[in-house]
Amino acid sequence: MTLQNPEFEAECIRRILAGEKHLFHDLIRPCERSIYFLLLSLLKNESEVEDVAQETVIKVYQNLDKFRGDAQFRTWVLSIARNEGLGRLRKISSRREDSLDAETDEQTGDYTPAILTSWCEIPTEALERKELGGILREAIEGLPEIYRNVVLLRDIEEMDIRQTASALGISEAAVKVRLHRARALLQRNLAPKLKGFAPKRKNWFRGRT
């Protein structure tokens, strides 16, 4: 995650609109990761994502004079990315004839956690190994879409509940419910697998308190 700086953004936008177009690179750079992962959660196809990401940044540029500063810049950018992504999905699904609205919060599932008592340390060194990254990515990619979106923004891009709700166009209550279920599903899936990685304690828990 890259920290946002509203003063820098406001100044950048003012200067871009005044003609210093090249500053747009600096303005959009901190949002790149979020754009990519939001679109990946919607589209699941890297080349589609790249294509729509490019359309998104141009749309942001073209609409820069409409940004009023009443939302965070990144949140505004992500709502544009989401619209572009949904537009692309509609195009794809009109070819495939499957519904975008098939998944709802009403769906049932087993959210009881995996019970284990000895995995309480973080296998951080194991992250260096491709294997662990692969297990984590696979688990997240295997989540139902409505949960995956929330995890990508909230836990991977570390946006707060309000920003996540705004970027996805859902209520904060829905973000919390989906996040809870997503984490429960991930824990259930991952805890038994990650237990196999030899843990070594490192004090890198940044504390989400």
Q: How far apart are CA 39 and CA 89, in angstroms?
A: 10
202 counts as binding another protein under rule CB under 8 A: no
Write down the least CB distance from residue 94 to another protein, Å: 26
Contact criterion met (CB below 8 Å) for 153 and 37: yes
Contact criterion met (CB below 8 Å) for 31 and 22: no
- With CB under 8 A as the rule, give the number of residues binding another protein: 57
Nearest C-alpha neighbor of 140 from the set 128, 154, 159, 129? 154
Left, alpha or beta for 27 (phi > 0: left; psi -120 to 50: alpha)? alpha
Helices (H), 18-129: 24-28, 32-43, 46-62, 73-96
Query: Among 10, 17, 102, 127, which residue sits at the site for another protein (rule: CB under 8 A)?
Result: 127
Span 154-173, contacts to another protein by CB under 8 A? 155-156, 158, 161
Query: Among 68, 95, 96, 208, which residue sits at the site for another protein (rule: CB under 8 A)?
Result: 208
Q: How far apart are CA 158 and CA 37, in angstroms?
A: 12
Q: How far apart are CA 83 and CA 24, in angstroms?
A: 21
Write down the least CB distance from residue 97 to another protein, Å: 30
Span 84-103, contacts to another protein by CB under 8 A? none
Helix (H, G, I), strand (E, B) or coil at 123: strand
Query: Among 106, 118, 198, 203, which residue sits at the site for another protein (rule: CB under 8 A)?
Result: 118
Write down the least CB distance from residue 152 to another protein, Å: 8
Span 41-80, contacts to another protein by CB under 8 A? 46, 50, 53-54, 57-58, 61
Query: Among 9, 13, 30, 37, which residue sits at the site for another protein (rule: CB under 8 A)?
Result: 37
Write down the least CB distance from residue 183 to another protein, Å: 5
Q: How far apart are CA 4 and CA 165, in angstroms?
A: 18
Residues that bind another protein (CB under 8 A): 21-22, 24-25, 28-29, 32-33, 36-37, 46, 50, 53-54, 57-58, 61, 111-124, 127-128, 132-133, 136-137, 140, 151, 155-156, 158, 161, 176, 179-180, 183-184, 186-187, 190-191, 194, 205-206, 208-209
